[in-house]
Amino acid sequence: MRYEAPETLEGAVALLAGATGEARVLAGGTDLLVQMRADVVDPALIVDIKKIAETRTVTEEKGGWRIGAAVTGAELKEHARLKKVWPGVVEAANLIGSTQVQGRATLGGNLCNGSPAADSVPALIAAGAVATLAGPQGRRDLPVEDVMLGPRKLALGKGEIVVSFLLPPRPPRSSDAYLRFIPRTEMDIAVVGAGVSVTVDEAGTISAARVSLGAVAARVLLVAEAAAAIIGSRLDRAAQDRLEAAARAACRPIDDKRGTIEFRIEVAGVLARRAALIALDRARTN
């Protein structure tokens, strides 16, 4: 098994594009190492991208925020300004695993692991995050909701890496929230995840919203109907009911050892509502 830690993006792309056997990107390793130990994957080549500066920085860009794909959840949590602007994204990244896991896990890895139950992905999608990819053909941007196509299936070509995420500029009175359902208080994979981002106008009415659900379908969903259900409202009871119904209608979950179909559908509505209420409360006080 070969291990390379290139210092440039071009180097990483070249290694991955030229790999003849199975190749894997290593960021935090909190999924890859577990899968290697369980004999689920046996890569011939591991490309560690953490030495590539662009994947490790958090910078303001054109009023928004660019987060490197290999920035850890713990580092995001320590970024006071980012946390203030995007509390939902930061809290989602810090629900992954444990304190120890958050010390290593990254947004890039969480997305590219290809699990519809990934915690940070609904928050990124609700935020309208756009992933910047680099590959043999150069760079391109892709909305996060278009990156994961299904379990372990990504829209990345051979040799393509996620370099960073761009969170758009935040209008005033905007905020986000992420909630997940797990049976314990920590450590579980999300049975349902809900990310909601809202913007409120001066009158307190929701003028913009995005709602994303995780672990309820083969990919993380961007649920336009759920957002439409609350735009133009003050999230009164009727709007909440519409939101729940729209969220539930979008679910196509499976029965597995973590939850049943009916449980996931039911709870998806509950979490979408609760996350929207938190996002709204944060947006109002922002």
Partner 1 sequence: MAENGTNGTNGQGYVGTRTIRPDGIDKVTGRARFGADYNLPGQLIGRVLRSPHPHARIVKIDTSKAEALPGVKAVITRDDFGDQPSEFIPAGEMMMNYKDVVRNVMAREKALYEGHAVAAVAATSAAIARRALKLIDVTYEVLPHVIDVVEAMRPDAPLLHDDLFTVGVEPKPDKPSNIAKRIEITLGDIEAGFAKADVIVEREFKTAPVHQGYIEPHAALATVSEDGSTELWCTTQGHYIVRAHCARLLGLDIGKVRVTATEIGGGFGGKTVVYLEPLAIALSRKAKRPVKMVMSREEVFKSSGPTSGATVRVKMGATKDGRFVAGFAELKYQAGAFQGSPVQPGVMCAYAPYDMENVKVIGYDVVSNRPKVAAYRAPGAPISEFAVESVVDEIAKKLGLDPIELRLMNAAHEGTKAAYGPKFGPIGLEETLNAVKKTEHWNTPLRKWQGRGLASGFWFNIGGETSASLTVNEDGTVSLMAGTPDIGGLRASLAMVAADELGIPYDKVRPIIGDTGSLGFNFLTGGSRSAFSGSMAIVEAAKQIKTELCARAAKLWDAKPDQVEFSGGSVRPLGALAEKVKPMSIADFAKMAGKTGGPIGGYGRINAQGAGPSLGTHLVDLEVDPETGRVTILRYTVAQDAGRAIHPAYVEGQFQGGAVQGIGWALNEEYIYGSDGKLQNAGFLDYRMPVASDVPMIDAILVEVANPKHPYGVRGVGETPIIPPLGAIANAMEQATGIRFTELPMSPPKVLKALKEREATSKV
Partner 2 sequence: MAKHHIEATVNGDAVEFLCETEDTLLDVLRDTLNMTGSKEGCASGDCGACSVTLDGRLVCSCLVLGCEVGGRSIETIEGMAKGETLHPIQQRFLEHAALQCGICTPGFLVASKALLEKNPNPTETEIRYWLAGNLCRCTGYDKIVSAVKDAAVTMRKG
State which of residues 100, 137, 205, 260 lies at the interface with partner 2 (CB under 8 A). Answer: 100
Span interacting with partner 2, options 25-33, 124-132, 151-159, 272-280, rule CB under 8 A: 25-33
Q: Which two tokens stand for residue 194?
A: 């809900």
Strand locations in the chain, DSSP E?
A: 2-4, 23-26, 45-48, 58-61, 64-68, 130-135, 138-143, 148-150, 153-154, 161-167, 174-181, 192-200, 206-214, 221-222
Q: Which residues pair with 52 in a beta bridge?
A: none
User: How is residue 69 written in tokens?
Assistant: 């794909």
258 forms beta bridges with none
Total residues in contact with partner 2, by rule CB under 8 A: 28
Interaction partner, residue 259 (partner 2, partner 1, none; CB < 5-8 Å by kind) = partner 1
In the complex, what is the shortest distance from the CB of residue 118 to partner 1, in angstroms, rounded to a whole number? 14
For partner 2, the binding residue among 6, 11, 17, 29 (CB under 8 A) is 29
- Of partner 2, partner 1, none, which one does residue 165 interact with (CB within 5 to 8 Å by kind)? none
Q: Is 37 in the site for partner 2 (CB under 8 A)?
A: yes
Q: Which residue has the tokens 């939850």?
A: 259
b/e 143-177 (16+ beta carbons within 10 angstroms → b): ebbebbeeeeebebeebbbbbbbbbeebeebbbbb
**Positions in 230-269 near partner 1 (CB under 8 A):** 256-260, 262-263, 266-267
- What CA–CA distance (Å, rounded) separates 111 from 94? 14
Residues engaged in binding partner 2 (CB under 8 A): 1-3, 5, 26, 28-30, 33-34, 36-38, 46, 48, 50, 72, 74, 97-101, 103-104, 185-187
Residues engaged in binding partner 1 (CB under 8 A): 38, 181, 183-189, 191, 256-260, 262-263, 266-267, 270
